[in-house]
Each structure stands twice: as structure tokens, then as C-alpha cells.
């Protein structure tokens, strides 16, 4: 595809109208570069930009060049310098899909997302795909979820439950998940389409099972190797206090069932939606895909710290969880959806549950 751009001048538009157009461009994936009242877009995205300009201008024209300059019109100063060949390209009006470009304009033929066969396993520098908005909402949801979890656990204890009982464990996790899920929903409602598809939550595909099984095996073997190396080097012992919830659930049948549902079903869904959907998307928007994968992995490792851990246990926990978060972030970027990462997360945790059952 050609990198040529078309340039417009909106000097006759009020500032609030230009702001509205910039917002519409961001929501529809149009890569506009603004300089005061001027802006330019890739030539391939000109038809989509023209339609939005015409809509804001109250006209029915398909091309902004047909809208008269002055009286609120948009003057088109630079035409497309070279034609773009016909083909399937990322849809500028429907993110995640592809649309047929006939060489002159976008058609009504919309297909599945472009094939990812040529997609690498790590984003290039500056990549802004899969970006999302809502950083403050993500922070508020995490903090609010943590505080809500502590509050309901304390309430359960006041009502007579023990801190390690199954009911206490369940209500604490649900309170945390409510905060994580709530921030994701608020973000897509306020800044997106209102659908969690904006964060990569789409229907699972048959191939996701194989991807998840293989990736979880790699992650589990990798974390065991890391743990063994660290124990040999630093002599870290007494590793009973880890990041799992198995220790606080007891070894009763009900406890095992509760643990299985929490770590194999609930945690993969809510944590992937929050960390790889919202958090990674927000970081991608600000820093690019490569930095986002690394930063969300660091955050994922840090939040698994538990009160009462020794320095050695905390370091070992981070060293094991952070690489797994990195792998999950790569899967999110590579496959452009959360399904492979959710299944990887579920299989990874299921191995721990299997060990718990085997050693009861």
C-alpha cells in the first residue's frame, strides 16, 4: 500500500467541530495527523475521512472535495498522488474486519479480519494496534476491586467465617473481579462501542485450544526452570506461601472445587480481560505495542504479591509470574483476541490444581 497522504484545511470550522472530527477519526481508526486547523490522512483512508467530514458538515456528499470551502466546508489541498491497487485491506470503518478497495473507493464488501500469517511474534516499535482508552478507569477498577475484596472478607470474618473458609475465599474473589470487570465495561462504554469486543473478547475458535495447551506447557516448564535456577543461586527456601489461592482454601473437597472454579475459570477470564484487554490496550495507545507487552507483564507480576511474603518469596513470585504475563501479552498481540491467552491461563492454572488434588 502507498504511504501517500491527503491534506485538508478546516480553518473555517469552529474548534469544537474540529475536536468532534478528531474524536470520530480516533474511534474509526483513521490515522489523522493534525497541525492546527490542518490535518492529513493516509490516501487509503480518504473515503472514510470524507464521509465523516460530510456527515459533520450536514451534506450527503461522499467526498470532502465536493464540499465547498468556506461556510464550514473542508478544503482538499492535496489529491492522492498514486493509486492504491485493489485488494482486501483493514477496514477503516469497522476495526477488526477487512474491506475491499476497488482501486478508487471502498466497497460494501466486508470480510473476516486480515489473515495473520505474516504477523510476527512481537510488535514492531511504535505499533499502536489494539490500543484502548481508559487508563484512570483501569486504575480505579483495580484499586476499587482490591478494597472491595478486603471489605467483604472482613465482613465475612465479623459474621463468623474464618479467613481461610470457602465462602470467604469466594466473596473476596468476586469482589475483586467486580472491580476489574466494571472498569473494562466502563471503558468500552465511554470510549468505545460499548462492546467488550473492543478489548479483544470474541468467541473462542477451535484452534485456540491447541494454542492454549502448548503455550501453557511452555509457560509452566519455563517457570519451573526459573524457580529452580533462583533457588540454586539464592538459596530461597520455605516456598509454601505462593501466589495461588490453594493455601487459604484448605484441602476439603469443597475447597478444591472452589479453587478449581476460581483459578481455572474465573481468574483466566477476568484477569485476561483486564490486564491483556484494558491495561495492555491503554499502554499500547500511549507507548506502543512492544512497550505495552513488557509493562503489563511487570504490573501482572507485581500485583501477585501477597501480604506476609518474605523478600525471597516475593522475588520468586515476581520472577515466575512476570514471564508468564509477558507470554500472555504476546499471545494477545499475535492473535488479536483474548481467547488463546485465556485458555493458556486456564491450562496453566489447571496444572497447579491437578498437583493439589494429587497431593491431598
* pLDDT by 10s per residue, the chain, length 360: 445 778 887 877 777 778 778 888 887 888 888 877 788 888 788 888 888 887 766 554 444 433 333 334 454 443 333 456 677 777 666 656 677 767 666 677 777 655 544 678 889 877 888 889 999 999 999 999 999 999 998 998 898 888 778 888 889 999 999 999 999 999 999 998 889 999 999 999 989 999 999 999 999 999 999 988 888 887 755 554 444 455 544 556 777 788 889 999 999 999 999 999 999 999 999 999 999 999 999 999 999 887 777 888 888 889 999 999 999 999 999 999 999 999 999 999 999 888 878 876
Query: In this structure, which long-range contacts are made by residues 267-270, counting pairs with CB atoms below 8 Å and at least 24 apart in sequence?
Result: 267/173, 267/345, 267/349, 268/342, 268/343, 268/345, 268/346, 268/349, 269/342, 270/177, 270/180, 270/181
* pLDDT at res. 225: 93
* pLDDT at res. 287: 92
Asked if residues 328 and 345 have their Cβ atoms less than 8 Å apart, the reply is: yes
* pLDDT at res. 117: 46
The pTM of the whole model exceeds 0.85: no
Going by C-beta distance under 8 Å and a sequence separation of 6 or more, which residues neighbour residue 150?
172
* pLDDT at res. 234: 77
Cα–Cα distance, 132 to 136 (Å, whole number)? 12
* pLDDT at res. 77: 41
Give the orientation angle of helix 339-358 with respect to helix 311-335, to 10 degrees.
140
Amino acid at each position: 500500500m502507498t504511504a501517500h497522504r491527503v491534506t485538508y484545511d478546516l480553518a473555517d470550522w469552529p474548534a469544537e467541530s474540529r475536536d468532534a472530527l478528531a474524536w470520530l477519526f480516533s474511534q474509526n481508526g483513521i490515522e489523522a495527523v493534525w497541525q492546527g486547523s490542518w490535518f492529513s490522512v493516509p490516501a487509503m483512508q480518504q473515503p472514510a475521512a470524507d464521509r465523516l467530514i460530510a456527515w459533520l458538515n450536514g451534506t450527503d456528499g461522499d467526498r470532502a472535495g465536493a464540499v465547498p470551502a468556506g461556510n464550514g466546508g473542508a478544503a482538499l489541498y492535496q489529491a492522492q498522488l498514486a493509486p492504491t491497487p485493489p485488494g482486501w485491506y483493514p477496514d477503516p470503518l469497522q476495526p477488526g474486519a477487512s474491506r475491499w478497495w476497488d482501486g478508487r473507493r471502498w466497497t460494501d464488501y466486508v470480510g473476516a479480519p486480515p489473515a495473520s500469517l505474516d504477523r510476527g511474534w512481537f510488535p514492531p516499535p511504535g505499533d499502536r494496534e489494539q490500543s484502548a482508552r481508559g487508563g484512570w478507569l483501569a486504575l480505579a477498577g483495580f484499586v476499587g476491586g482490591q478494597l472491595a475484596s478486603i471489605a467483604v472478607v472482613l465482613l465475612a470474618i465479623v459474621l463468623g467465617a474464618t479467613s481461610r473458609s470457602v465462602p470467604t475465599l469466594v466473596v473476596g474473589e468476586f469482589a475483586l473481579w467486580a472491580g476489574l470487570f466494571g472498569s473494562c465495561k466502563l471503558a468500552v462504554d465511554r470510549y468505545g462501542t460499548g462492546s467488550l469486543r473492543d478489548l479483544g473478547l470474541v468467541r473462542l475458535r477451535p484452534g485456540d485450544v491447541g494454542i492454549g495447551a502448548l503455550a501453557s506447557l511452555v509457560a509452566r516448564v519455563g517457570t519451573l526452570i526459573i524457580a529452580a535456577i533462583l533457588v540454586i543461586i539464592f538459596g530461597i527456601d520455605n516456598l509454601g506461601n505462593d501466589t495461588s489461592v490453594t493455601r487459604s482454601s484448605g484441602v476439603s473437597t469443597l475447597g478444591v472445587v472452589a479453587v478449581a472454579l476460581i483459578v481455572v475459570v474465573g481468574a483466566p477470564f477476568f484477569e485476561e480481560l483486564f490486564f491483556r484487554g484494558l491495561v495492555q490496550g491503554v499502554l499500547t495507545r500511549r507507548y506502543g505495542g512492544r512497550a505495552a507487552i513488557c509493562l503489563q507483564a511487570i504490573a501482572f507480576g507485581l500485583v501477585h504479591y501477597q501480604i506476609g511474603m518474605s523478600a525471597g518469596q516475593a522475588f520468586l513470585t515476581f520472577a515466575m509470574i512476570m514471564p508468564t504475563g509477558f507470554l500472555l501479552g504476546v499471545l494477545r498481540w499475535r492473535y488479536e483476541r483474548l481467547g488463546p491467552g485465556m485458555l493458556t491461563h486456564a491450562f496453566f492454572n489447571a496444572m497447579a490444581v491437578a498437583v493439589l488434588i494429587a497431593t491431598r
